[in-house]
């Protein structure tokens, strides 16, 4: 149960008190006063018109204050009389009081009531002090960062619930950090052997691969305090603030050692010093200097292990990566097929899947997906199933979710003209046929002409077997040939060319140039002419390294052009030889808009598609008449078996 903070209600309580006092003092004082002289009061007393009277002696002023009501007054009407003390007011009133019936009250002189005097004189001042205190406290709370900017922003997070079992697909990475857990649990064992545990571990990898999750699991397994901070939390407008925060962070960590400090996106503060168009960045560089000193300086930080994560290790300062600081770098790569299956199993918990869903098959269809992508895919599938009012997640939702993650949601409201539809169908059919007929090309898994994102349609092609390290020259040439399939198909079978192949040309040219300048796969020989340097401080490709003359640059352009032209000729040959298949796939796309791998294989083998949907619909209707339970979730083979068993009975 969440603890209620009473302090947040104090301003409202004080405000209610002030409002109440004001109402009691002024709001409820609605009497209508009528001023009388003392002689008029005596006249009214002699006639017996007075019903109540209150007398109050003020010695300091030398007067009697007399208030009361007359018989003919309204409810809120009162009279007020000021009589000098020199007159015998008390004796005269007593004489009339003995002969007449009216209510008489003698009020105490407030000058003799010390408590009342203190209340009247000091209560408004007390209210002002309280209000000022509340205002200043709230003001300082709103500007807490400016009043306390030198303190550490690191948060002490309870990650006891995260274990290695929650981290799937990172078996080798978990082995690398298991030593840290053992050291945090049994430091004496390492000290006895004279071993020094790494002071820092740098987790490097693309976004979404599980670097932060792995750090949390280390803290959960070790059951030690876990401090979390982002690299951007150190850098401040004022020079020296970041360094102060680093000192304070390590000071706090020493009090709770052994402990873990996790710095996410460390490249925000750990960038290489003295770089950029304007020179260095004083605040960031001072912060980095302090971090370097704290990790491995003259002071000792025993029992403090720093884990940092970044997807840009190329921009980090070399001093940060030397032994004694970040001793160990753990590369958290994109998961392979086995790892993707494990990740899908973790994220599938709590979701209801149809029998037709095969996570093993899904893991094979998602190369290049990170752990975050896979989690998002299953979540999108679950959302689609709810949106469609289904009882379970089917392959239909998973296929749609895969497309949404890769390309964005389908733009079903966008309608093609018949000419555009055929043009896109021919374009995508050209890509597919090259993939089907070329030896080293990737397998065609799906073709669609439904627009998504910036694409009017797309052909999903996946490698027959997943490769993690190298790609052959023939595979690169096959990839370029497949990319050119759309333009060649347009030119051969429609007699015109469009702008739809611009992205294909961009990808093909990049592959061809990399073959020439980086991979040594051209007639120029095995020479690296360009380094893969993206100029992270001056803008990407702004300061790209050129290790060649203008004459060699001309040769590079010729080689790139030669590779692309040869692939273009090969694409033209393949599509001319398979003209019937191109048109068959295109016509099927115009009719169905999306065809799957199984349907593509059926088109290649038989030249037509069997009407499976109609036959499945008929089987379900028959199963419904026979009263077979759960027939809506059965496959065609299961329905045939159940119908056969029911008719035999």
State the DSSP string of 533-588: ---TTT-TTTT--B-S-HHHHHHHHHHHHHHHHHHHHHHHHHHHHTHHHHHHHHHH
Q: Which residues pair with 53 in a beta bridge?
A: 68, 104
Per-residue HEC secondary structure of 573-640 comes to: HHHHHCHHHHHHHHHHHHHHCEEEHHHHHHHHHHCCCCCHHHHHHHHHHHHHHHCCCCHHHCCHHHHH
CB 259 within 8 A of CB 213: no
Residue 521 Cα distances to 229, 442, 477, 556, angstroms: 46, 20, 10, 11
- How far from each other are the two terminal CA atoms of the chain, in whole angstroms? 59
- Going by C-beta distance under 8 Å and a sequence separation of 6 or more, which residues neighbour residue 394? 354, 356, 357, 385
Closest CA to 304 of 246, 373, 378: 246
Distance CA 114, CA 107 (A): 15
Using DSSP's 3-state secondary structure scheme, residue 492 falls into helix
Residues 64 and 38: their CA atoms lie apart, in Å, by 10
Q: Residue 68: beta bridge partners?
A: 53, 79
- Give the side-chain half-sphere CA count within 13 A for 291: 33
Classify residue 440 as exposed, middle or buried by CB count within 10 Å of its CB (0-12, 13-18, 19+): middle
**10 Å Cβ neighbour count for 77?**
13
Residue 586 tokens read as 């295109």
Separation between Cα atoms, residue 41 and residue 49, nearest integer Å: 10
Other Cβ atoms within 10 Å of 503 Cβ, number: 13
Q: Enter the tokens of residue 464.
A: 């027959």
**What distance in Å separates the CA atoms of residue 408 and residue 456, rounded to the nearest whole number?**
12
Could you give the C-alpha distances from 118 to 79, 113, 115, 124, 265, in angstroms and in order?
A: 29, 9, 5, 11, 61
Task: Give catalytic status of residue 74 as yes or no.
Answer: no
How far apart CA 557 and CA 183 sit, in angstroms, is 56
Which own/partner contact pairs does 26-32 have at CB distance under 8 Å and 24+ positions apart?
30/76, 31/76, 31/77, 31/78, 32/74, 32/76, 32/77, 32/78
| 370 phi, psi to nearest 5 deg | -85, 175
Spatial CB neighbours of 259, under 8 Å, sequence gap ≥ 6: 224, 225, 226, 227, 253, 303, 304, 305
Map residue 161 onto helix, strand or coil.
coil
Q: Is there a cis peptide before residue 258, judged by omega within 30 degrees of 0? A: yes
**CA pseudo-torsion sign 243, 244, 247, 253:** negative
- Residue 245 near residue 153 (C-beta atoms within 8 A): yes
CB atoms within 10 A of CB 361: 12
Catalytic one of 265, 428, 570, 642:
428
Which residue numbers are catalytic?
Answer: 428
């Amino acid at each position: 149960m969440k603890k209620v903070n009473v302090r947040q209600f104090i301003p409202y309580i004080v405000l209610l008190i002030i409002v109440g006092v004001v109402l009691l003092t002024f709001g409820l004082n609605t009497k209508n006063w009528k001023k009388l002289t003392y002689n008029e009061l005596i006249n009214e007393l002699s006639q017996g018109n007075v019903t109540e009277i209150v007398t109050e002696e003020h010695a300091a002023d030398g007067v009697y204050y007399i208030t009361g009501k007359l018989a003919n007054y309204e409810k809120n009407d009162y009279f007020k009389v000021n009589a000098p003390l020199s007159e015998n007011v008390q004796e005269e009133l007593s004489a009339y009081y003995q002969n007449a019936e009216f209510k008489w009250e003698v009020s105490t002189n407030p000058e003799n009531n010390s408590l009342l005097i203190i209340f009247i004189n000091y209560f408004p001042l007390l209210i002002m002090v309280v209000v000022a205190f509340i205002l200043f406290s709230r003001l300082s709370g709103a500007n807490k960062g400016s009043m306390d900017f030198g303190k550490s922003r690191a948060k002490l997070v309870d990650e006891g619930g995260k274990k290695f079992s929650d981290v799937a697909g990172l078996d080798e990475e978990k082995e690398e950090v298991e030593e840290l857990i053992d050291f945090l649990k049994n430091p004496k064992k390492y000290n006895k052997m004279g071993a020094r545990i790494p002071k820092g571990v740098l987790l490097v990898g693309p976004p979404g691969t599980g670097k932060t999750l792995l750090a949390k699991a280390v803290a959960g397994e070790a059951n030690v305090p876990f401090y979390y901070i982002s690299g951007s939390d150190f850098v401040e407008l004022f020079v020296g603030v970041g360094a102060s925060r680093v000192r304070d962070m390590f000071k706090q960590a020493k009090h709770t050692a052994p402990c873990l400090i996790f710095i996410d996106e460390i490249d925000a503060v750990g960038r290489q010093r003295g770089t950029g168009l304007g020179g260095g960045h004083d605040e960031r560089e001072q912060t980095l200097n302090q971090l370097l000193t704290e990790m491995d300086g003259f002071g000792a930080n025993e029992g403090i292990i720093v884990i940092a994560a970044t997807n840009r290790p190329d921009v980090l300062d070399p001093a940060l990566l030397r032994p004694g600081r970040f001793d160990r770098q753990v590369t958290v790569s994109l998961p392979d097929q086995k790892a993707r299956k494990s990740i899908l199993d973790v994220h599938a918990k709590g979701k209801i899947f149809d029998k037709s869903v095969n996570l093993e098959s899904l893991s094979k269809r998602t190369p290049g997906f990170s752990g975050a992508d896979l989690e998002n895919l299953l979540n999108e599938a679950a959302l689609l199933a709810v949106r469609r009012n289904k009882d379970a997640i089917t392959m239909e939702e998973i296929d749609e979710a895969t497309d949404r993650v890769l390309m964005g949601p389908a733009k079903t409201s966008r309608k093609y003209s018949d000419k555009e539809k055929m043009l896109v169908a021919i374009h995508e059919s050209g890509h597919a046929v090259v993939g089907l007929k070329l030896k080293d090309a990737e397998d065609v898994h799906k073709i669609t002409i439904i627009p998504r994102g910036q694409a009017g349609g797309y052909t999903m092609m996946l490698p027959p077997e997943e490769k993690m390290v190298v790609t052959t020259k023939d595979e690169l040439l096959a990839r370029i040939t497949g990319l050119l399939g759309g333009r060649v198909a347009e030119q051969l079978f429609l007699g015109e060319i469009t702008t739809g192949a611009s992205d294909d040309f961009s990808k093909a040219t990049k592959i061809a140039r990399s073959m020439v300048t980086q991979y040594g796969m051209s007639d120029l020989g095995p020479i690296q002419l360009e380094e893969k340097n993206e100029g992270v401080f001056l803008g990407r490709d702004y300061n790209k390294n050129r290790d060649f003359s203008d004459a060699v640059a001309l040769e590079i352009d010729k080689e790139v052009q030669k590779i692309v032209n040869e692939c273009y000729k090969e694409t033209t040959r393949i599509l001319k030889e398979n003209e019937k298949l191109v048109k068959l796939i295109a016509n099927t796309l115009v009719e169905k808009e999306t065809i799957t791998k199984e349907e593509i294989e059926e088109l290649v083998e038989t030249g037509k598609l069997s009407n499976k949907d109609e036959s499945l619909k008929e089987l379900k209707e028959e199963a419904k008449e026979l009263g077979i339970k759960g027939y809506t979730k059965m496959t065609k083979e299961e329905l045939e078996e159940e119908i056969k068993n029911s008719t035999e009975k």
